[in-house]
């Protein structure tokens, strides 16, 4: 025990030590079910589950919950109408399909899940018992919401029936139309790879996995209680060892830091990473991540975010590797926004063309405070969606003036660091010549224009058992 004097000097003394155990008996099997559309005080603990099914690979769950049709608040007439609209017509071969609502009334709802988090490697469930804390790793967070697919099918049938009952005379009078036949060219390997990672491909893989029926065990059953006991480590096991680790090593082993590629993927999926984690990375990675997130930032803003332990010279060195100076502010390099061998999200434009268009837009911003998007489109010849994407990621539109960068122009950096500013001017002069050569080959020479003020600029227009552990 530390002396009383040492306890007084410690602002945050240890008041109690609790043994921590890691239980793995339910690892890769434990999920948290969340019901965003259901109040916490009225969950599904006492509900009657008719059917349950799971897709273990894609982590999807489907549950049929019975509706009490004898309740005084239940609208019998409306329930029958919904059941009738959900019925599908008899097949052509005479085989009748099983009705969605077997009792001719809406007597159930179907809950389908979606992932709340793409990765749960650093999450677990803790149980405190007999002065010990037991942690079980989580497989995933699933949010279950009512599914109304039968209503979508009913609407589609109505539309199809409307088309089939159209005026036959109009069909007879319809004249032949010219049909243009086109042949698809072979796509490059990197574009094929990007399409394999698309949402449509992922949705197809999900639909191909078969549902596996499950036996649901209520939270109040003996089976559920026995399963909860598996979250407690067996104290008699000899495999429990003391950890002779530093605080940092212990935290890293408990919650391993994300690797760079994992961190980039997390950013793409729009999951925020804390600034405290970013500050643990090398300085170059810190500057790159912050600039990719902000797109446009002044040096004063960047310096205020980074730790004071980093020298200004080091920050400037790495900043010039990942960003360019425009109107006294720093803008992330186009190659980091559109990496090599990728395509745009809208029309599948290769990254090389996206970078060239973005560089031309940035070059225009070095010459004008406001830029006309239509004038840019007439030069770079990309689809309107791609042009708008480039502008909206780093600029905003001001009526009757045009687009300007999201950070106002400033002369502060140029005055404080004239050598770097001069070096950036030389970079843009070389970039101007490079773009001119490329566009001259396409008969699209970007004219060099003198600087204009804002007033001179142009205006712009199997069977698996699922057990509930929650009590």
Shared domain for 284 and 341, answered yes or no, is yes
145 within domain boundaries: yes
Nearest Cα residue to 370 out of 295, 458, 298: 458
Sign, CA torsion 10/18/121/213: negative
pLDDT tens digits along 75-112: 888 888 888 887 765 554 555 667 778 888 888 888 98
Do 214 and 282 sit in the same domain of this protein? no
Q: Are residues 217 and 323 in the same domain?
A: no
Q: Does the residue 202 lie in any domain?
A: yes
> Above pLDDT 70, what percent of the chain?
70
Among the residue ranges 84-93, 126-135, 165-174, 335-344, the one predicted with the least confidence is 165-174
Note whether 265 and 402 are same-domain residues.
Answer: yes
Residue 76 covered by a domain: no
| 409 and 308 within one domain | yes
Q: Rounded CA gap, 267 and 264, in Å?
A: 5
Comparing 190 with 318, which gets the higher pLDDT?
318
Note the pLDDT tens digit of each residue in 360-401. Answer: 999 999 999 999 998 888 888 889 889 999 999 999 999 989
| Burial category of 72 from C-beta neighbours within 10 Å (exposed 0-12, middle 13-18, buried 19 and up) | exposed
Nearest to 157 by CA among 86, 237, 259: 86
Tell me the chain's radius of gyration from C-alpha atoms. Answer: 31
329 and 208 belong to one structural domain: no
Select from 402, 405, 385 the least CA-distant residue to 295. 405
207 with 265, same domain: the answer is: no
Q: Based on the fold, state whether residues 214 and 276 are members of the same structural domain.
A: no
Is the residue at 92 inside a domain? no
Q: Which range of residues forms the domain containing residue 382?
A: 258-441
Confidence band, pLDDT 50/70/90 cuts, at residue 418 = very high
Separation between Cα atoms, residue 433 and residue 162, nearest integer Å: 60
**pLDDT of 269:** 38
Half-sphere exposure of 369 (CA within 13 A, CB side): 13
Q: When comparing pLDDT for 15 and 246, which is higher?
A: 15
Maximum pairwise Cα distance, the chain: 101
Backbone angles phi, psi at 85, to 5 degrees: -70, -20
What's the pTM? 0.45
One domain, residues 295 and 212: no
Q: Is 126 helix (H, G, I), strand (E, B) or coil?
A: strand
Greater pLDDT, 205 or 261: 205
User: Do 214 and 318 share a structural domain?
Assistant: no
Predicted local confidence at residue 297, as pLDDT:
92
Alpha carbon distance 42, 49 (integer Å): 15
More confident residue, 349 or 244: 349
Identify the band that residue 9 occupies on the pLDDT scale cut at 50, 70 and 90. low
Q: Same structural domain for residues 425 and 283? A: yes
Q: Domain check: are 262 and 225 in the same one?
A: no
The pLDDT value given to residue 89: 59
Q: How many domains is the chain partitioned into structurally?
A: 2
- The predicted-structure confidence for 239-267, as pLDDT tens digits, reads as follows 445 556 677 776 666 666 655 444 444 44
Q: pLDDT value at position 87?
A: 72
Residue 153 belongs to a domain: yes
pLDDT at 453: 40
pLDDT at 416: 93
Residue 221 lies in a domain: yes
* Domain-located, residue 433: yes
The verdict on residue 305 lying in a domain is: yes
Instruction: Out of 202-206, 235-239, 247-251, 437-441, give the one with best mean pLDDT.
Output: 437-441
The DSSP element (H or E) to which 331 belongs, if any, is strand 329-332
Q: Is the pLDDT of residue 165 over 70?
A: no
Span 269-292, mean pLDDT? 76
Residue 126 contacts residue 232 (beta carbons within 8 Å): no
């Amino acid at each position: 025990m530390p002396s009383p004097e040492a306890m007084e000097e410690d602002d945050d003394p240890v008041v109690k030590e609790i043994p921590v155990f890691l239980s793995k008996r339910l690892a890769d099997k434990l999920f948290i079910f969340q019901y965003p559309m259901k109040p916490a005080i009225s969950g599904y603990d006492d509900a009657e589950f008719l059917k349950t099914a799971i897709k273990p690979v894609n982590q999807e769950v489907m549950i049929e919950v019975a509706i009490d049709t004898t309740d005084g608040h239940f609208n019998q007439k409306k329930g029958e109408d919904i059941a009738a609209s959900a019925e599908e017509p008899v097949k052509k071969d005479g085989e009748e399909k099983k009705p969605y609502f077997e009792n001719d009334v809406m007597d159930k709802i179907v809950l389908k899940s979606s992932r709340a988090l793409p990765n749960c490697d650093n999450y677990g469930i803790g149980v405190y018992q007999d002065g010990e804390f037991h942690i079980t790793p989580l497989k995933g967070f699933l949010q279950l919401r009512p599914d109304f697919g039968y209503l979508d099918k009913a609407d589609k049938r109505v539309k199809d029936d409307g088309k089939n009952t159209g005026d036959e005379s109009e069909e007879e009078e319809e004249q032949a139309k010219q049909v243009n036949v086109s042949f698809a060219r072979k796509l490059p390997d990197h574009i094929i790879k990007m399409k394999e990672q698309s949402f449509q491909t992922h949705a197809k893989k999900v639909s191909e996995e078969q549902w596996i029926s499950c036996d649901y065990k209520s939270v109040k059953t003996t089976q559920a209680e026995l399963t909860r006991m598996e979250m407690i480590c067996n104290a008699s096991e000899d495999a429990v060892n003391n950890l002779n680790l530093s605080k940092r090593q212990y935290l890293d082993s408990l919650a391993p830091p994300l690797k760079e590629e994992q961190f980039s993927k997390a950013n793409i999926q729009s999951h925020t990473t804390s600034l405290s984690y970013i500050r643990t990375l090398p300085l170059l990675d810190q500057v790159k991540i912050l600039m990719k997130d902000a797109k446009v930032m002044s040096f004063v803003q960047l310096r205020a975010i980074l730790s004071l332990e980093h020298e200004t010279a080091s920050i400037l060195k790495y900043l010039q590797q990942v960003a360019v100076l425009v109107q006294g502010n720093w803008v992330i390099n186009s190659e980091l926004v559109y990496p090599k061998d990728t395509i745009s999200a809208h029309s599948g434009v290769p990254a090389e063309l996206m970078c060239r268009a973005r560089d031309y837009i940035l070059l225009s911003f070095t010459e004008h405070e406001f830029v006309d998007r239509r004038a840019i489109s007439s030069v770079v010849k990309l689809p309107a969606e791609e042009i708008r994407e480039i502008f909206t990621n780093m600029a905003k539109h001001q009526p009757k003036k045009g687009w300007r960068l999201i950070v106002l122009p400033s002369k502060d950096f140029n005055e404080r660091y004239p050598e770097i500013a001069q070096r950036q001017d030389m970079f843009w002069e070389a970039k101007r010549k490079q773009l001119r050569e490329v566009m001259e080959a396409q008969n699209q020479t970007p004219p060099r224009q003198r600087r204009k003020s804002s007033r001179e600029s142009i205006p712009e227009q199997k069977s698996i058992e699922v057990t509930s552990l929650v009590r």
